[in-house]
Structure formats: C-alpha cells, structure tokens
Amino acid sequence: MDLISFQTLRGGLQLNVAPASQAPRAAAVERLRAVLATSGTFAEVEIEATDDPDRLVAGLCTYSPDQPETDIVDTLTRAWAAELRYQGWEGHSFLVEEGHVELQAATVRADRSHFLTLHLVVQADPALAGTDRVAALPSPRAQVPEQRRWLRRTLDRSGV
C-alpha cells in the first residue's frame, strides 16, 4: 500500500477505535524486539512503546549494507505478520531507499477493542559490512537513560 493511502486509512482508524493500552503495547514491544534481535539480520535493536497514536510501538535498528533492501522488507513483513498483526484489519506501507527502510503499520483487533500502530526505521550500518549474520547484542546506548531521546531524535530526523 502506498504511504499516503496508508496514512489516510490509519487516520480513519484512529477516529473510530481506541489505541491499545499499555499492556498490549508492552507485549508487542517485547515480541518485536525478540524476533528482530534473534533474526540474525539486525543489530542495535531498540524498540519502545510510545503514547503517539501514529506509532504506539516505535523502533530503530541497523543492518549490514551488504544485504539488499528487498531482504530487509521481507524480514520485516514476516515479523509484522507473525508477531504484531491482529486477526482483524491490518495495513502497512514501506518507504525504501538505499541504506534505509521504514515500515509503518496499523492493525485492529477483530472485536474492535483497540488498535496498534508501528513505525520502524532500519538503517544500513557501514560498520556491519562484510557480515553475513549479525548478533543483536544490547546496544551500549540501551544501557544509557538517553536511549529514548536518541530513538526519538532519529525518528524526528526521518521526517515522521
């Protein structure tokens, strides 16, 4: 789905359904963090819950520039479908450029009790060049209270 159509549908969704409470958001964060960190594709996986209805779950991670963006999109699509998408409605859109992939997604539970949104920014890291699989060890930044501000600054720079 193109980004403009997705954002229009997400806006309508937000007017008609309540956002997920903290518990479903926290569970989604843990599931997504686990699947991305163990995929062997991503490094520095940082995922958090937010109060922003456009991205109730937000994240940033890196990948080797040797991997084609199409592989990154495939991996993220599978992670979205397997770990976060509800059985009700869902929609998602990708922005793909060389060295940069963004996934914006939204889903609604079948009972229309709440929705969940995701915005994930994935960037190629030249330091990972030449690696087939990466280990997503906790980033040194994850140990620092500044992590959340760093993630938000990165999301802000991406134009969202």
What CATH number should be reported for the domain holding residue 110? 3.30.460
Task: Give the pLDDT of residue 140.
Answer: 39
Task: Give the pLDDT of residue 139.
Answer: 43
Higher pLDDT, 152 or 121: 121
Q: What is the pTM of this model?
A: 0.79
Give the pLDDT band of residue 83 (cuts 50, 70, 90). Answer: confident
In this predicted structure, the answer to whether residue 16 has a pLDDT above a threshold of 60 is yes
How large is the average pLDDT for residues 50-79? 95
Share of the chain above pLDDT 90, in %: 64
Task: Give the pLDDT of residue 100.
Answer: 97
Task: Give the pLDDT of residue 136.
Answer: 58
Residue type, 16: N
- In angstroms, the CA 132 to CA 14 distance is 40
Task: Give the pLDDT of residue 108.
Answer: 94
| pLDDT, the chain, mean | 85
In this predicted structure, the answer to whether residue 99 has a pLDDT above a threshold of 80 is yes
Q: DSSP for 6-75, please give it.
A: HHHHHHHHHHHSPBP-HHHHHHHHHHHHHHHHTSSSEEEEEEEE-S-TT-SEEEEEEE-TTS-HHHHHHH
In this predicted structure, the answer to whether residue 20 has a pLDDT above a threshold of 60 is yes
In this predicted structure, the answer to whether residue 70 has a pLDDT above a threshold of 90 is yes
How, if at all, do strands 57-63 and 115-124 pair? parallel
Q: Please give the residue range of the domain that contains residue 7.
A: 3-157
Domains: count for the chain: 1
